[in-house]
Structure formats: structure tokens, C-alpha cells
A and B are shown apart, each in its own frame.
Chain A
Amino acid sequence: MSYQLETAAHPTRLRRIAIDTVSRVEGHGKVTILLDDRNQVRQVRLHIVEFRGFERFIQGRPYWEVPVMVQRLCGICPVSHHLAASKALDAVVGATRLTPTAEAIRRLMHYGQILQSHALHFYYLCAPDLLFGFDSDVSRRNIVGIAAAHPETAKRGVLLRKFGQEVIRITAGKRVHGSGAIPGGVNKAITAEERRLLLEDIYRIIGWSRDAVHMIKTLHAQNPALYNSFGICRSNTMSLIGTDGTLDFYHGSLRARDGNGGILFDGVDYRDYAQLIQEEVKPWSYMKFPFFTALGKENGWYKVGPLARIQNCDCIPTPLAEAERREFVDYCGGMPMHAPLAYHWTRMIEMLHAAETIKDLLHGEDILGSELVVSGQRSPEGVGVIEAPRGTLIHHYRVDEDDLVTMCNLIVSTTHNNQAMNEAIRHVARRYLQGREVTEGLLNHIEVAIRCFDPCLSCATHALGQMPLAVELLDAEGALVHSLSRNDDGRLDAAAL
């Protein structure tokens, strides 16, 4: 767990490749690679170049506005922020235990979000790389390329997304800016007709999710040398764990394992997160670097998200996903898997689990209940933690007597994975960029490693004309000798100077 290649000894004498911005991740990121005169990689960094200031955005607002406001932090996972904030503010209104119906509806919303987010990532962002190859023609590496070569796969991606969005619409009230979860419960019951609509499709969704697991499993089996080693970054892992060690995305206690799979801590109340985790600031990135306090900065960094969750839990409480988890564990030979491409396999196991859980929730008695809200003794502070699609999401608020938020601390999923993403691209750079000509295909290897984590680096700024990608190659004296840019429609322009 060293920081090799984070800082070169004499960076000014090296030539620099900048990938600006990283494509197919959410937000603004930049990768710089410094090469020496012999084209040896000397320094690799993933920079996050946008400062967001989320906490300041929330402070001073009435607490009851927060679950709706925080959805505007992210255009990709607004429901995760909505639910994490609602959980934190449950404590503020004294709702120590929700009604069974409120919890079932929140869970349904959350598992719908997990399903649609994982579907988007797999079918739209990753399948092109995995099915066509990292070096394949860039014009094919997209969902239309998938649609041309694998039309049924592309359709399933769209329809899985649509189903997940329908779950969110029904539970949250709207497709976006929903207000379904409120401090103390939910404000919208589910009708029998809405349940019937979702049940009509759920068995097909489960089947497709299972097929997706089989697809990624087959890819691993076809090329284990690549899938088991590409971008490998051995680290600790952390996630919420439900009752009896089960996989649970909505609620539980914190468990962490070391790189060998040994337990570091378990059963920790997530309200004590600040005692477990610290965040280091580095001058070259706006994104902080969290680490376990007990292990220190160098050894305490960790991974979150599907690869961590599937290996951290003892079992999955739905049968099809549990069978797939067992197969994954067997594939890994009983040792933790640290290769980032395995995120895709575990992500699809989670998608299958989400689909099965949606079915179970819809068949459950609680989902059609009418008792939606509880309250109790007011508290000035609340912490809410959920497992968002990309990993553990922490919301922490303090509220004054005038109901205004005085303190807000958010640790978003991607931040937990910051060091792991940096380590993954260092491994890839060392393996694939040493002394080689810089091509789009090679640079895409770096991006493939980052995409495994499905990072959400920024949130929800969308305007036509943004998101260029520029690659610059500088010689040892810092002079630009070659550039490669991806303009805002994704096409590449190369210029030799």
C-alpha cells in the first residue's frame, strides 16, 4: 500500500502527459503522467479539478429542505443523497425507528436507484470496453456500437434503466426532484395499481440481471490474465453490513477488512464514523484522501463500492445473487480480489440482488401500508449512512433551535476510493505506458481503470459545449511536443507540433 509513483523525485525534468478530462466518468478529472527521457513512468496522479463546496451549499437551510436540496448535488445518484440526508435527519426529529411501511418504501426507492445506476454503468459506460476491447476502434466503443453488434444487450440496458426510473418515480413521486423521503419517514404511500405495474416487469428484470452477471463472468473466464491483474490495487475495504452479516445497501453497521480479508473492525455504529476515518488533503487535488485513523495515511486507505461490499459481507439475502456471490468467492480462491475489473462482476451481482429485493419488497405486506411518519424527541445532530451505488455515503448534520443547518459534513462514495483509483492508474501506467507511443487506445487503458470504480467526480453540471478531453505530451524541458484532444462531441484531434 505504498505511494510509489505519486511524487517523482525531479518532476521538472520529466515530460508530462495530461488526460484532461477523463471521459465517461461523471465530472471533471485530469490524469497527468510524467515520463523521463527513457519514457519510463515517474509520476501518475488523478486530479480532481473542480471544487464543489457542497457543505456550504447546505448550511443555513431549514433542515426539512435538505433531503430535496441535496439531490441537486448529483445528477447521477440524487436518490442516494436524498435517502442519506433523510436518514440523518430522522435522528433530528427523533424518529429512532421508522414505520415498517416507510422503511419498505425507502428501501424500494434505494434498490431501484442501485439497479438503474448499475445498469447505466455496465451497459453504457463499460460494456463497450469489455466487449470490443480497450484498444478497439474508438468509434465503436459506445452504446450505439453495442447496439449494432449486440442489439439485445443495448435494449436491455435501456429498459433496465427505465424500470429503475419507474421504481424511483413511484416511490419518490417524480423522476427527478422527488420528495418521497422526509425526516421521520416518507410522504407518499404506494397504491396497489403502482405495485401491480412494477410486478408486471420484475421477473423479466431479474432474468436480464442474471444474464448480465453471466456475461461478465464469461468475460473473466475468457481472459483471466487481464481481468485478475489489470490495475490491481491491494487495499483495505469498508462497507455497511446488515443484520447477521448480510449485504444491505440501506442500513447496518460498519465493517472493514484488511488486504488479506481479515477483520479490522466490525459492528461499528456508523454515527461514530469520525472516530474511524480521517481525510488527508493533498495540494494537487480538490478531492480528499480518506484513511482509517488507526492505520495511518500510508496503510489506512481503502476501497468501497461493489467489490468491497460483495467481499465484505458473509452472505446475500436473496438466492440468485447469493449463488453468484459464492461463485465469485470460489473464483477468487478464497482470497480477496483486488483487481478493479472485478468491480464489474460484483456490480452485476448487486444489480441482480437489487432486482430480487425489489420483487420481495413488492410482494411484502408492508409496502401498501398507510402509516408513513413517526417522530420523537428532537436531537440537534444526525448522521445518515447508506451504501450508494458507488459505495458508502455519509451525511452528517447539526441543526440549531431555529431549525437551520449549522454544520454539514458529507463524505461521498467516490472520495473513499480516491487513493485506490490513483493506485490503479499507476499500475496501469507502469504496465502499459512504459516506453510506448501514446495513442488513444493506450490512454483509454488509464480511463478503463478509473471507470471500474464508476466515479462521480462532479455533479449535475450539464451545459452544451463542455467536457473536452486534452492530452498533452511535454518533453523533459516542459515543451509541448504532441497533443491529443477529445473535443466536446468525443472525437479526437491529434496535432504533432
Chain B
Amino acid sequence: MQPRIVVFGIGNASRGDDAIGPLLLERLGIWLAAAGHAPEFALIEDYQLQIEHALDLHGKRLALFIDAGCATPVPAEFYAIGATRTFPAPSTHALTPQELLGVYCQVVEAEPPPAFVLCVRGERFELGEGLSVEAQAHVESAWRKLMLLCQRPDAEHWRALAARETLQKGPKGRDGALPFPSGPPLQIPPSQ
């Protein structure tokens, strides 16, 4: 079975709360294996998103990016994202999830799969530090959310959950992106 859902855990396990993404991804892998759902999910850990990660979206029907955020509302936020169409100048070798979706559109010449971000509040990002006490609590809260998501990996369900958060906390999303992807209806690319 080819995995149809891709989950990215972004961060560096040796940089304090930057470990949040990799830690949640590792926990998810164990949980999925125990539940017998591992073959449905592609789990990808990396320090940063870079252009070749666009190819990891190909053939998937759903994508989730787990990351730490230093200005994220406590304990975490969950929101839908769309491809960046105007694509501003990048500030680093790395891409944002929205930019990665934009690269996918250009390179694969197709709409990306429905994509969401689970961003968990981090407090400290120093080299050699472990997870902060605050972040440990945020991770537990995010883990419950992540289990809920992966128990029902369905784009409409995830959109509804994201919309509910938006109503509770107000519009969110990095760079002011709307909580729902704009533009033409999404087309799910064929499986590889």
C-alpha cells in the first residue's frame, strides 16, 4: 500500500523546543504502528522544508505539517493552508509550508493535496537544550489533537476542526493566510 497521507515533523531535536515537531512525529509513528495504520501514513522528519520536499506531496490526498512556533497561541494552533501564489522572497534556504505547496504547483503542475499546519508553541530554541517545561505541556495538548486528526484523516473533517478553532480564537495562519485555501477547487493528484 502506498501511503496517501504525509505528515512532516519539522525541527531540530537538539535545539530546545524546536524538537516539538520531531517528537510528535516519533510518537505518532509508534501510535500508528500499534494501531495498524502505519502503511497509510508517510512520516517525514527534517530540520527544514526544502524544495525537494514538494515531491513528497505527490500522490497524497492529505498533508500535515507539525512545527514549533515562537509566536503561536498557547498551546497550539491548527489551520488549513493553501499554496502561496505570489511567493515572496525567501529569508532562508528553507521554505514555509505554504511556499512548499507553491513549489509543488509549479513543479508538478497540479494542485497540491489539502494541507494543514499543527503549530505548537515553543519557548526556547537554544542548542543543546531539552524541551522546556512549558513546551512539554503544549506537546501533550497537541498530541491529543494529533490523535484526533489521525483517527479520522479526512480533509473535510480537518477543515471543520480548523474552522472551529478559527471561530474560537479568530483568524490565524502564518502570513495572514486565510484559514481555508483560496483559488480553484482542489484536485487530488492520482496516486503513484
Please give the residue numbers on chain A whose beta carbons come within 8 Å of chain B beta carbons, in ascending order. 21, 23-26, 52-54, 56-57, 69, 72-73, 75-76, 78, 116, 120-121, 123-125, 128, 138-139, 141-145, 147-148, 151, 154-155, 157-159, 161-162, 165, 175-177, 460-469, 486-491
Contact = CB atoms under 8 A, between A and B. Distances in A.
B106 A176 contact: no
Given A460-B47, A465-B174, A488-B174, A141 B92 contact: no
Nearest to A138: B89
Given A53-B128, A462-B12, 10 more contacts: A24-B90, A53-B127, A139-B87, A144-B87, A147-B103, A147-B106, A175-B46, A461-B12, A462-B48, A464-B117
A39 to B, nearest CB: 26
A24 B95 CA distance: 10
B5 interface: no
Query: Of A21, A120, A142, A157, which is in contact with the most chain B CB atoms at under 10 Å from its CB?
Result: A142
Interface stretch (B69-77, B142-150, B162-170, B183-191): B69-77
B183 to A, nearest CB: 14
B106 A26 contact: no
Given A161-B52, A462-B48, A23 B107 contact: no
A486 to B, nearest CB: 7
A239 B67 CA distance: 38
Given A124-B51, A176-B47, A462-B47, A158 B93 contact: no
B136 interface: no
Given A72-B12, A144-B103, A158-B52, A462 B94 contact: yes
A486 B90 CA distance: 10
Interface string B47-68: 1101110110000000000011
Nearest to A78: B47
Contact of A464 (B47, B69, B107): B69
A176 B99 CA distance: 21
Contacts of A490: 88-91
Contacts of A128: 89
A145 B89 CA distance: 10
B11 A462 contact: yes
Interface stretch (B13-21, B32-40, B152-160): B13-21
B192 interface: no
A327 B103 CA distance: 34
B96 A461 contact: no
A464 B15 contact: no
10 contacts: A25-B92, A53-B127, A75-B12, A124-B93, A158-B103, A463-B11, A464-B68, A464-B72, A464-B117, A464-B119
Nearest to A151: B106
Query: Of A125, A158, A469, which is in contact with the most chain B CB atoms at under 10 Å from its CB?
Result: A158
Contact of B50 (A144, A151, A161, A465): A161
Contacts of A125: 90, 93
Contacts, number: 162
A26 B18 CA distance: 16
Given A145-B87, A490-B91, A69 B14 contact: yes
A147 B99 CA distance: 13
B47 A75 contact: yes
A141 B89 CA distance: 6
B122 to A, nearest CB: 6
A463 B67 contact: yes
Contact of A139 (B48, B67, B86): B86
A480 B128 CA distance: 38
Nearest to B97: A464
B64 to A, nearest CB: 14
Contacts of B92: 23-26, 467
A151 B72 CA distance: 35
A460 B15 contact: yes
Contacts of B17: 463
Contacts of B70: 463-466
Contacts of B90: 23-24, 124-125, 142, 490
Given A120-B51, A460-B12, A462-B48, A54 B94 contact: no
Contacts of A489: 88, 96, 174-175
Nearest to B45: A176
A468 B51 CA distance: 21
B93 A57 contact: no
A157 B51 contact: yes
Query: Of B46, B92, B106, which is in contact with the most chain A CB atoms at under 10 Å from its CB?
Result: B92
Contacts of A161: 50-52
B82 interface: no
B14 A57 contact: yes
Given A138-B88, A147-B107, A463 B122 contact: yes
A486 B175 CA distance: 12
A155 B175 CA distance: 26
Contacts of A155: 107
Nearest to A23: B91
A49 B174 CA distance: 25
Contacts of B46: 75, 175-176
